[in-house]
A and B are shown apart, each in its own frame.
Chain A
Amino acid sequence: MNNNSVVISLQQIKKIYDMGGVEEVQALRGVSLEIQKNEYVAIMGPSGSGKSTLMNIIGCLDTPTSGLYEFNTVNVSEMNDNQLARVRNKEIGFVFQTFNLLARSDALHNVELPLIYAGVPSVDRKRMAREALEHVGLGDRIHHKPNELSGGQRQRVAVARALVNRPSILLADEPTGNLDSKTGDEIMILFEELHRQGNTIILVTHEEYIAEHAYRIIRIRDGMVESDTPVERRAKVLAAVS
């Protein structure tokens, strides 16, 4: 692959939380990695190792303390507010570890939201949102509010919201964390489909068998990349799923 297809490029990314005075937390201590277009990457690591911090930076939500982040060869630190908003809206679909749904809006409105900011006309976006919810098996729950849904169902609403705008990159922070293995697998099949359509997928997970859906596993420990390896047993896993 040539250099043009690098969509995400991190060089010596550090994130340090100043806790006031002497104390500081080094969440990321110099992470460098490149992710090509249409890659399918799993990020693994112990709790507190900096996975979510990394995902937030990749998702243009958070800014690194130091280091260079290029998104589609554009230096993210030089993007203005509107450009960042556009990237977050159109280029990246983000499934948050904590879902981050609007608590008092129903599933449909939650999924509709990215389309509103994308300027999709009302009729179309209602249909698209409904389809996205049906896609994750929540066609019968579209008017439920988050607190009327189970943890797994909320997670699926979050997935539907991340996918509804057809982003080219999907960032998923433990998208199957609250799901049983069957619904978890359904989500993974969904991701697989997206990957086949040419999307780039980065997902954080604690579970080996989820990670093995990916083509590449990056292991993080104490804010640093510990290992970065391709997945060998993929074919077998895929066969088991389908």
Chain B
Amino acid sequence: MPRSFESILYEIRESLVMALVALRTNKLRSILTLLSMSVGVFSIIAVMTAMGVMVNSIENGLSQLGANTFQVQKNQEFESDNPRDRAKLRNRKNIQHSEGILVKERASLAKIVGLEAWEGGKIITTTDGKKTNPGVSLVGEDVEGFATNDWLIGDGRLFTQDELNSGRHVAIIGTVVVQKLFAKTDPLGQTIRIDGQEYEIVGVLAEKGGMLGGNQDNFVAIPLTTFFTIYGHDRDIHIMVQSTSRETYEDCIEQVRGILRAVRHVAPGADDDFHIFSNDTLIQSFNDFSKYVRLGLLFISAVALIAAGVGIMNIMLVSVTERTREIGIRKAIGAKKKNILTQFILEAVVVSQLGGVIGILFGVIAGNIIAFMLSVPPVIPVDWTIIGFVTCSLIGIIFGVYPAWKASNLDPIEALRYE
């Protein structure tokens, strides 16, 4: 009689039921096996969820530029690990204010060009002696820079063109600075000191939110001209350009590239001695950088899973020894090798899968706790969930085969005599 597909299905179902019964009757061991699997899968899923969350967060954070906007700066935001590249980058000339002005004048495809220069690690003090930590950034900004940065005024007003031209000591502050220094008073009209200079607060920025635990709201903006007067005129600046439309974006980038190559005397055929990035290139370079992190973590997780697999095999082997009598009984009343083999493999697989599901669940939760902390939307890594599930099924099979094979080959009478 040919064995129909149906009868094979039936047999698997029976073995599954028996495996489940056996798992229920050997609770402690099942739980231990399950745990080792959970831990392995947990580590993969937690790490991958966390990576997903971080990518999201960084993408959110990096999408700081307004629409159709790109930025030109001297160096790349994520450093290359090639030492030759690094040396080359160090020797680059600063982007001068005059070069920024030229772009403003000549870039016909640009709707807005904003210029800015940054200083880090400032302490801000108030007239009544309050102080911030020395971690506040100071930016010299022109009026257009607020638009290209997508910075909105929450309270007060922007610098006037006049204030900018005459280099007045006025400031617009981020919400973190407000919380630190003006929790109870109105900051508008107050005076703050930075590096010995006094500034009158004319505006407060709307909150932008944190990125990767860092903060986009922890800075003070002063007019760009004022910044140059105090910190030097040859400072390296960022040029931010918004194209006239989505369609002109690529051309606009090329136009600005051409202008800068000309004024910076870059030889034809030589690489740019400046870096242009858009939201896309920023995310791209982050992904390049995080690829190695991912690979490393994947390797660690694979090791964890193999360890879990070996753990399962070990526990299954102990299980087979302990259940020798049971196997003997089953064989004595007519179990075929195949029956015992399927039962023990299925036990291993079911335990691995159960462990896997638990691991996936907790992994996703743990990964998303990070999302919660970074206040970015939660992530469910569907691909990794599936990969995790399939992987632990495979591990269950691979590491379950040997113990199951051992069980199925026991001699019935020897097994029955086993104490």
Seen from chain A, the residues whose Cβ lies within 8 Å of a Cβ on chain B are: 56, 59, 61-62, 81-82, 85-86, 88-90, 94, 96, 100-105, 109, 113-114, 116-119, 121, 161, 165
**Contact yes or no, A85 B326, CB < 8 A:** no
Quick one: given A102-B329, A113-B330, are A119 and B335 in contact (CB under 8 Å)? Answer: no
Q: B363: CB under 8 A from chain A? A: no
Contacting residues, chain A, for B25 (C-beta < 8 A): 104-105
Q: How far is the CB of B117 from chain A (nearest CB, A)?
A: 76
Residue from B18, B330, B338, B413 in contact with A61 in the complex, judged by beta carbons closer than 8 Å: B413
Nearest opposing residue in chain A for B337, CB measure: A81
Residue from A104, A105, A109, A117 in contact with B336 in the complex, judged by beta carbons closer than 8 Å: A117
**Contact yes or no, B339 A117, CB < 8 A:** yes
Q: List 9 A-B contacts (CB under 8 A).
A: A88-B332, A88-B334, A90-B334, A94-B332, A100-B325, A102-B329, A103-B326, A113-B330, A117-B339
Q: B416: CB under 8 A from chain A? A: yes
Chain B residues within 8 Å of chain A by Cβ, number: 25
Nearest opposing residue in chain A for B10, CB measure: A119
Nearest opposing residue in chain B for A93, CB measure: B333
Nearest opposing residue in chain A for B332, CB measure: A61
Contacting residues, chain B, for A102 (C-beta < 8 A): 326, 329
Nearest opposing residue in chain A for B7, CB measure: A119
**Contact yes or no, A82 B412, CB < 8 A:** no
Contacting residues, chain A, for B332 (C-beta < 8 A): 59, 61, 88, 94, 96, 100
**Contact yes or no, A85 B331, CB < 8 A:** yes
**Contact yes or no, A117 B21, CB < 8 A:** no
Q: B14: CB under 8 A from chain A? A: yes
**Contact yes or no, B336 A62, CB < 8 A:** no
Q: How far is the CB of A206 from chain B (nearest CB, A)?
A: 21
Contacting residues, chain B, for A88 (C-beta < 8 A): 331-334, 412
From A117, A119, A121, A165, residue with most partner B Cβ within 10 Å: A117
Q: How far is the CB of A81 from chain B (nearest CB, A)?
A: 6
**Contact yes or no, B413 A85, CB < 8 A:** no
Please give 5 more A-B residue pairs, beta carbons under 8 A apart, in addition to A61-B416, A119-B7.
A82-B338, A85-B337, A105-B21, A119-B10, A121-B10
**Contact yes or no, B413 A116, CB < 8 A:** no
**Contact yes or no, A62 B333, CB < 8 A:** no
Residue from A81, A89, A103, A105 in contact with B333 in the complex, judged by beta carbons closer than 8 Å: A89
Seen from chain B, the residues whose Cβ lies within 8 Å of a Cβ on chain A are: 7, 10-11, 14, 18, 21, 25-26, 325-326, 328-339, 412-413, 416
Contacting residues, chain A, for B325 (C-beta < 8 A): 100
Nearest opposing residue in chain A for B414, CB measure: A62
Contacting residues, chain A, for B330 (C-beta < 8 A): 113, 117
From A86, A89, A109, A119, residue with most partner B Cβ within 10 Å: A89
**Contact yes or no, A101 B336, CB < 8 A:** no
Q: How far is the CB of B33 from chain A (nearest CB, A)?
A: 17
Q: How far is the CB of A28 from chain B (nearest CB, A)?
A: 14
Contacting residues, chain A, for B10 (C-beta < 8 A): 119, 121
Contacting residues, chain B, for A121 (C-beta < 8 A): 10
**Contact yes or no, A116 B14, CB < 8 A:** yes
**Contact yes or no, A117 B334, CB < 8 A:** yes
Residue from A85, A96, A103, A104 in contact with B334 in the complex, judged by beta carbons closer than 8 Å: A85
Bound state CA distance, A85 and B333, in angstroms?
8
Contacting residues, chain B, for A103 (C-beta < 8 A): 326
**Contact yes or no, A86 B337, CB < 8 A:** no
Bound state CA distance, A24 and B7, in angstroms?
47
Bound state CA distance, A103 and B18, in angstroms?
15
Q: How far is the CB of A2 from chain B (nearest CB, A)?
A: 30
Q: How far is the CB of B88 from chain A (nearest CB, A)?
A: 72
Q: How far is the CB of A137 from chain B (nearest CB, A)?
A: 21
Q: How far is the CB of A132 from chain B (nearest CB, A)?
A: 13
Residue from A62, A101, A117, A161 in contact with B413 in the complex, judged by beta carbons closer than 8 Å: A62
Q: How far is the CB of B158 from chain A (nearest CB, A)?
A: 78
Bound state CA distance, A121 and B331, in angstroms?
20
**Contact yes or no, B21 A109, CB < 8 A:** yes
Contacting residues, chain A, for B326 (C-beta < 8 A): 102-103
Bound state CA distance, A96 and B338, in angstroms?
24
Nearest opposing residue in chain B for A100, CB measure: B329
Contacting residues, chain A, for B11 (C-beta < 8 A): 119
Bound state CA distance, A202 and B128, in angstroms?
107
**Contact yes or no, B18 A116, CB < 8 A:** yes
Nearest opposing residue in chain A for B27, CB measure: A104
Quick one: given A104-B25, A105-B25, A119-B7, are A113 and B413 in contact (CB under 8 Å)? Answer: no
Q: How far is the CB of B315 from chain A (nearest CB, A)?
A: 17
Q: How far is the CB of B289 from chain A (nearest CB, A)?
A: 55
Q: How far is the CB of A144 from chain B (nearest CB, A)?
A: 14
Nearest opposing residue in chain B for A88, CB measure: B334
Nearest first, the 7 closest Cβ-Cβ pairs linking A and B are: A89-B334, A104-B25, A117-B334, A85-B336, A62-B413, A114-B333, A88-B334
**Contact yes or no, A113 B333, CB < 8 A:** yes
Bound state CA distance, A120 and B418, in angstroms?
29
Bound state CA distance, A119 and B21, in angstroms?
17
Nearest opposing residue in chain B for A118, CB measure: B334
Nearest opposing residue in chain B for A94, CB measure: B332
Contacting residues, chain A, for B412 (C-beta < 8 A): 61, 88
